[in-house]
Amino acid sequence: MSVTFHIPTALRAFTDGKREVTAEGSTVGEALSNFAASYPDIRPHLYEDGGELRSFINVFLGDTNVKNLDGLSTPLRGGEVITLVPAIAGGAS
Amino acid sequence: MMTKTPIRMIDLIGNTPLIDLARISAEVPGVRLAAKGEFFNPSGSVKDRAARAMILGGIESGELSKGTTIIDATSGSTGISYAMIGAALAFPVKLYLPANASAGRKEIIKNYGAEIVETSPLEGSDGAYTAAREEARAHPELYFYPDQYNNPANPKAHYDTTGVEIWDQSGGMVTHFITGMGTSGTLMGVSKRLKHFNPEIRIKAVQPNSPFHGIEGTKHMDSTIKPGIYDESAADGVITVTTEAAYEMTRRLAREEGIFAGVSSGANVAAALSYAKTLPEGALVVTILCDQGTRYLSEHFWESAK
């Protein structure tokens, strides 16, 4: 199943400036892992040393936070859009 | 009982206490950590200082007058300050925030009666900044645009107040000052003032270790639009901190010091503690507790009881 990741500005330095990247996976977690494998420099920004997704990162499948679905085990049908957003915004004040 | 002359809300800004972080300092024998309790400001954050200076500056210059709306970009705390001062002085306020700014902050702003325009969470603070600037430029007749990233009144507020308070409250004993940067106003103003009092005082900037982070209100300078007021040479170096370390120290501040502060305060104290471990006995490291923790109650990191 192929899905599209929308890349936040803060991470585009690690995706050759791309705003969108596609990855394969049957679950959200698998697609995320494959996405990170395609751009190895991004991995430490997304995962803890132990391999867990960093706690402040929210993963949205379409408009829904996967925490309200089955988390990283949420199955994919293909064609969905996945967005990574920090839990709270950095920067402006 | 009323005092002879009742005080205005905006006159309560500043003169916050310098708080001894006794239990956390105990990890570094011989070195003391202290922090400005900026959550004692009337809207609950350090941003009241710069917001007041910029708004009063606008009134003085004539750019802000009756019927003009205050407009700016913020991830929240400056917005809360604008909203509070705007309400007190009867100016409408319109704020551009990334949609992922914390829900608590947005609620506070709305309850002060200010208007919020949400910008893309993918673009972070730069998206809010660009949108606010475009709107202000498109309708200059409607708005007073303080532009906190580029307004010299922002660092000057800290040069005039925060820096002087730190010097006085430490009895001139401060040896090191360290804080994070959003607009960089606090670091620029305090650094300049403390170096004026004693050029030997060392200054460190705190930065998230990654451009992708969850330390609200803090900017990763190398990957974002640099504020016009920012001068890299004002600091003697940078200490980086992870979001996880900031969260952990935010919880420690509550549980070990009785200080219920926000995430950027946790980042500052975590960085101050790691810096303190490299310093000789007798050092007094001062940092900033930027805002209250109550505006982050909706955030899940409080649930992690390590």
Number of domains in chain A: 1
Question: Do residues B104 and B158 share a domain?
Answer: no
**Helix (H), strand (E) at residue B239:** strand B238-241
Residues B204, B276 within the same domain:
yes
Q: Cβ B182–A92 below 8 Å, yes or no? A: yes
Q: Summarize pLDDT for B90-116 with one digit per residue, the tens.
A: 999 999 999 888 888 899 999 999 999
| Domain, as residue range, for B72 | 47-144
CA distances from B37 to A36, A56, A63, B91, B145 (A): 40, 25, 38, 28, 28
pLDDT of residue B298: 61
Of B18, B24, B5, the C-alpha closest to B276 is B24
Across the interface, whether the CB atoms of B211 and A83 are under 8 A apart is answered no
Q: Is A81 an 8 Å CB contact of chain B? A: no
Q: What is the ipTM of this complex?
A: 0.86
Q: Is a pLDDT exceeding 50 seen at residue B60? A: yes
Lowest mean pLDDT among A14-23, B79-88, B238-247, B290-299: B290-299
CB of B174 within 8 Å of a chain A CB? The answer is no
Q: Give the per-residue pLDDT at B3.
A: 62
Residue B284 sits in a domain of what CATH number? 3.40.50.1100
- CA B246 to CA B259: how far, in whole Å? 14
Min distance B55 CA to chain A CA atoms (Å): 16
Contacts across the A-B interface (CB distance below 8 Å): 136
Average predicted confidence (pLDDT) for chain B: 93
- pLDDT value for B302: 55
Does B274 or B294 have the greater pLDDT score? B274
Residue partners of B198: CB distance under 8 A and separation at least 6: B172
B73 touches chain A (CB under 8 A): yes
pLDDT at residue B104, as a whole number? 84
**Contact assignment for B98 to A10 by CB distance below 8 Å:** no
pLDDT tens column, B136-194:
999 999 999 999 999 999 999 999 999 999 999 999 999 999 999 999 999 999 999 99
CB contact under 8 A, B121 and A93: no
Predicted confidence (pLDDT) at residue A2 exceeds the cutoff of 70 = yes
Best mutation site among B97, B122, B123, B230 for testing chain A: the one with the most A CBs within 10 Å? B122
Q: What is the mean pLDDT of residues B114-123?
A: 93
Q: Last residue of a domain, which of B125, B144, B163?
A: B144
**Chain A residues with CB-CB distance to B102 below 8 A:** 88-89
Report how many domains make up chain B.
Answer: 2
pLDDT at residue B58 greater than cutoff 70: yes
* Residue B213 CB burial class (10 angstroms; 0-12, 13-18, ≥19): buried
CA dist., res. B95 & res. B128, Å (int):
9
Q: Residues B262, B298: contact at Cβ < 8 Å?
A: no
Residue B170 shares a structural domain with residue B260: yes
For residue A90, what pLDDT is reported?
Answer: 41
Question: Given this model, what pLDDT does residue A92 score?
Answer: 30
The structure tokens 């900031």 sit at B246
Band of the pLDDT at B219, cuts 50, 70, 90? confident
Range(s) of the domain holding residue A10? 2-86
B49 shares contact with chain A (CB less than 8 Å): no
- Residue bearing the bigger pLDDT, B306 or A5: A5
How many whole angstroms separate alpha carbon B285 and alpha carbon B83?
32
Percent of chain B with pLDDT over 90: 83
Q: CA geometry: angle at B249 spanning B244 and B254, to 5°?
A: 135
**CA count, 13 A, side-chain hemisphere, B96:** 26
Which of B100, B123, B144 terminates a domain? The answer is B144
Does A60 score more than 90 pLDDT? yes
The nearest CA of chain A is from the CA of B86 a distance in Å of: 17
Q: Is B180 on the interface with A (CB under 8 A)?
A: no
Asked if B300's CB is within 8 angstroms of A91's CB, the reply is no
Query: Rounded to the nearest 5 degrees, what angle is found at the Cα of B42, between the Cα atoms of B37 and B46?
Result: 45
- The CA distance from B280 to A39, in Å, is 42
What's the pLDDT tens digit per position in B1-47?
566 788 899 999 999 999 999 999 999 999 999 999 999 999 999 99
Give the separation between CA A57 and CA A36, rounded to whole angstroms: 14
Subunit contact B97:A89, Cβ cutoff 8 A: yes
